[in-house]
Structures are given as structure tokens and as C-alpha cells.
Chains A and B, each alone.
Chain A
Amino acid sequence: MPKHLLGLLLVLPALAVILLLFVVPLATSLVGAFKVEDRFGFGNFAKSFELYTSDIVFTVVIVSLSTAIIGILSVAIGGYLVLGENPRAVAILRWLYRWPLFIPFIVVGQILRTFLAKNGLMNNVLIEVGLITPLQAVSFLDWRGIVIAFVWKQTPFVALLVSGAMASVDRSTIEAARNLGASRLRILVEIIVPQVATTLMVGLVLSFVTMMSVLSVPLMINAQSPTMITADIAFRINAYGDYGVANALGLISLVASACVGWFYLRQTLRERS
């Protein structure tokens, strides 16, 4: 058998799986988004924007904000792991920061729902310690809760990638900067981060896309208005059996994710050329 045929045969199962389980459903959903009662048109999109514009904006803003905070925190964690001078603190941080990686989103939602409620654990502790009075206690179960959940869950993932990349940065550049008297913050920002920028970007793009698709957190923490697109998609299907608008909303969130992916691709292509 010729070699290239054998190769084709070997990838065929994987190709079939991708085709059947991913490409076909995606195509059906894309077509479904434009289908309005057996005809094609933009009715579903008109309805999506009429009813859910604020939710779409809310989703993009919340996820972007979370991504930015995740970026800052993961650089801080990675930076301390590389530059930290107290070996014990570094060891503890290295051991601690990965924990949320192993906790599913739904559990994060559940934990934070009891933690952030008006009379939840956090406010009760603050009241006990005397930092706030019971009247000042406010519930964080709104957009802030979602951001906290996302940051808590996704920071370890990005930090894991970033700290790995930082560890493989050539130490001599760091030592040289240190010899010339640069502070640790300056070394981090001017020497290390530019060298791991691609890895950081990959981590943030993956986080962005993951967060766009989370349903459990908005459902558990903030089902009020505005909410995230995923909650609206679930509601369209469950309350109305309306797959058209759900598909349209899905396509809109796909476009938002694709924008980020495109931005990232352009960046890497420019770096390579």
C-alpha cells in the first residue's frame, strides 16, 4: 500500500469523529440560526438583538474584564514563582495556586453562592471581625459574583502556562537586569513578560472562549437581568422550544470568540513574519 494512503487511513477515524460530532452539528446550528419557519432570513438575529442586546454587551464586558484580571493575577503568580526570594513562600504558592483547576464550574458557582450572599460566609466573617456592620453587608451575587467565579477558576490555568514559560526564560537576562540594579517589578514587566507574551496570550484566549461557554455560573450566581448569553440560550430552548433564536445567540457568541481568536492569530502571524 502506498505510504500516503496508509497515512490517510490512519487519520480517517479521527477525521470522521470530528466531522460527525463537531462539524455537522455546528453546520446544522449555523443553518438553523438563519431558518425562520422553513424559510431563510435574519428574523432570529433581529429578535436576538431586540431582546438580548444588553445581555450580549454584558457577556462580552464581563468576560473581557475577567480575562484582564486573570492576566494580571497570573503574571503576578508566575512572576513571584520565578523571582520570589523566600523559598518557603514560593513553595506554598506553587502548591496552592493550582487547586481551583480541579474544581468544576458548577461547584465554583455553588461555593460562591453561599460564600458571597448577603448573609453568606464572607459577610458574616467581616461582621464578626467588626470590619462592617450588618447594615452595610451587600450581596455580591450579581456581575461581581460572576467575575469573581471566573477569575478564581481560570487564573490557575493561565498561571500554570505562564509560570512554565517563565521558568524556561533564559536566567541570564534576568541576572543581567538584576546586576544593573533593576527592581523585581521592573524585571517582571520589562524582561520576563515580553518573553512569555505569546504563552500568556494563548492562555487568555483559551480562557476567554471557555468563559463564554459557561452556563452553570451565571445560572447559579446571577440569573437576573442582565445575564450571560448562555443563560438566554438555555431559556430560549427550555421555555419556548425556540431553537432558531438559540442558534442565532450561539452564533453571536461564536463571533465574539472568533474575534479574539482572530486577534491572536494576527498577532502570532506578525511575530513570525
Chain B
Amino acid sequence: MKKLLQASLALSLSAVPASAAELTLITAGDQNMVDYVNEYLAPLFEEQNPGNTVRAVGTGPGDAGSQKILERFEAQKQADAKVWDTDVAVVHEKFVGPMVEAGYLDNYRDRIATGGLVTRSNADMALGANVKGYVMPMFNSQTALAYNPALLPNPPKSYAELAEWAKANPKQFGYNGIKGGASGVSFVMGWIYAFGDGDADKLMNGPFEETEATKWDSAFDSLADFTTHATLTPGNAGTLDLLSRGEIAVGPVWVDMFYSWQANGQLPPEFKLVLPAPGMPGQPMHYVIPANAPNKDLAEKFVELATSAKVQAEGIVKRFNWYPGIDAKHVQAELDEATWNKLFIDVTPDDLATKGKPFPIAPYNKAILEAYERHVTN
């Protein structure tokens, strides 16, 4: 009965404030995000702050999960609730801009001790929106091409080489389109960066001009042709699944998922990653604190712990194979060399610096997705 009550409480969208000693965290993303909090962060936090408990609620994978969090904040703002039901939320990069602009979030970074450890520019600008101070990156994630060396000994080093190779080897490249998860979306964005007639930097940094969309036509035509030679997979996991079954030789994946699958034995250890030129996008996930969070002090303490060098090393890098959210040099000091190197064998820090790109700013992002639907899937 107690379980049932808790479950219904967690599911309800009502703005019931949590008790002072209970910190409510909602997170977008796969189940592993909820597990990360429940199994690792929460016990650590409860140990350091006796008497307080952490309750983690997942809102589902992908943009859909973050969209739910955004709508939840919107509802509470419109209802004029003085105290909201969330202390900390973890959301995708694409959603923090709108949240900041709508005034849902608290500017807390300068108040916590770990605020100064963040150096990457994507913690200040999120897809063209200034979010400086409102977010602390939980981790950075990157997409790359995973390949099976038995079928493909010399992987293509660039998008151009890949396009040529895929034509010569039909159905050996697999990706999940744009409706089955962000690794496919990322591949498409990279394609436009590589072959679009416009300026890729403008897509990443703005400003938004509608005429820019006319410069993608030839890139999308070639992508439509490319896709007819490709295998379409059912999702992020679907691409890895087909790779492991030998049905495709190469495909875009999330680096952290790739390493996790390899660690679990779901992918053969000899599979490798390559980050093709001119680059593929990656994105951080951010910790945010709502403006009307019920336990603000506790929430700040929680984020401070979660972004401390030790937790970033142990939890983010070692357990989940994500790239750290705070500056890597603070994290490296906390880790043994083997663990650190494991993360950077195939994709070197150098690769990341030159070929790890952000996603396009939000309006371009939408425009590219819609152009894809118009040209490639229609």
C-alpha cells in the first residue's frame, strides 16, 4: 500500500509541496538516469545530510522527457503556485533556453562552490540562449560513428568518405532517422554541417535567418539519396543492436551508450568509434533548480555534491562513461590513468576539441528537422 501511495504521488501532476526533509528530483532521460540518482547520488547525499531523503522521478527518454518537465513548470507558473513540487531537475540542453526565458529557473551557479569548476562554453550558451548561471552541466555527451572492424577495417574519416563508402556498400550503414532518438538527429545535423552551402558556425551560434534554410537543398537531396542506400534502425539502441548482430557495419551512436554496452558484454570488445570530420554534435544535460523550489538550500547542496570533482570522476566518468560536466582537469586528478584513458582511446581529447560540435541553435534545429521530413521521408 505504501509503495502504491508513493507511486501515485510520484505520478500525480499536482503541485503538492514535498516535506522539508525530502528532496524531489525529476530527470529526463533513460532509466539509467533514475538509477544513477537512486543507486549512487541519493545514498551519498543522504549520508552527508542525515535526516534528508531524495526522491527521484524519471519523465522518460529523449526530448519527450524534457518536454514533460517544461510543461510541468509551465503549469505551476500559470497556476501561480508559490511553492513548486520540484527541487532539482535534469533536462536536455534544448529546453534550458526556453525555461530561462520564461523565468522558471533560479540563477544559482555563483552561489555554489563548484560553480567555478565549469569552463565549457555550452554551460553559458545553450543552443543560442544565454543560460549563464542557471545551469550546472551534469555531463557532456557526444555522438560518433561506431564500426565493426571485421567488416570495415578502414573506417571513413569524414562525412564525404562515408557517403562514398555507403554507396559502394549498400545497407551496410545504419542510422535511426530523426524519429527514433537523438543519435540519428545528430548524424543529420553533422551532414548539414558538412554539406550545407551555408556557414555551419552560424547554425551553431546564430543569429537565426529564415533564408538560411534555402542553402540546405542540395545537402538534403544527397542525404535522401544516401538514405536509400542505408539501413534504417528503430532507435539509438537499435543501431547498436544491428551492429552487434553484424547486420550493419557502421552507424552513429552515443559514445556513453557504446561504452556501457561494451562493458556489459552486449557489444564485442573489438568494436571501435570514429569521429568523422568536420564533426558530429554532442550535448550536455543540465541540473537546474526551479525558481520556486521548496527546499532551495538543500537543492543547491545536492547539485554542489553532484558536480564535485569526486562525484564527477566516480559517478559520471567511471560508472557511466560520460564526459564530465565540469572542467576535465579537475576530474582527471580524481581518477586512475586506466579509467581515464578508457574514455579517450578511440575519440581523443584532440578529436573532441576539433570535431565535437554543439547542436544547431533551437530555431535552426527545428528547421533542419522539418526540412529532413520534407526532403527525405516524404
Contacts and interface: CB of A to CB of B under 8 A. Distances in A.
Whether A associates with B in a native complex is yes
Interface of B: 62-64, 67, 70, 176-180, 232, 234-235, 238, 242, 245-247, 366, 369-370, 373-374, 376-378
A166 interface: no
A119 B245 CA distance: 7
A263 B183 CA distance: 44
A239 B242 CA distance: 25
A235 B177 CA distance: 12
A238 B232 contact: no
A234 B176 CA distance: 16
A118 B247 contact: yes
B177 A223 contact: yes
A269 B373 CA distance: 43
Given A239-B366, A240-B369, A240-B370, 20 more contacts: A50-B378, A51-B373, A54-B378, A117-B245, A118-B247, A119-B245, A119-B246, A141-B234, A219-B180, A223-B179, A223-B232, A223-B238, A224-B177, A226-B377, A227-B179, A235-B178, A238-B62, A238-B63, A238-B64, A238-B67
Contacts of B369: 239-240
Interface in A46-81: 50-54
Interface string A231-250: 11011011111000000000
Given A51-B374, A225-B376, A237 B245 contact: no
A240 to B, nearest CB: 6
A223 B374 contact: no
Contacts of B180: 219, 223
A219 B176 CA distance: 11
A54 B242 CA distance: 27
Contact of B232 (A52, A219, A224): A224
Interface residues of A, number: 29
Nearest to B65: A238
B129 to A, nearest CB: 15
A39 B234 CA distance: 37
A199 interface: no
A240 B64 contact: no
Interface string A90-122: 000000000000000000000001000111000
B179 A231 contact: yes
A28 to B, nearest CB: 15
B177 A241 contact: no
A268 B176 CA distance: 45
A120 to B, nearest CB: 8
Contacts of A223: 176-177, 179-180, 232, 234-235, 238
A70 to B, nearest CB: 24
Contacts of B234: 113, 141, 219-224
Given A54-B378, A222-B234, A237 B67 contact: yes
A227 B63 CA distance: 20
B374 to A, nearest CB: 6
Contacts of B370: 51, 240
Nearest to B98: A241
Contact of A53 (B242, B246, B378): B378
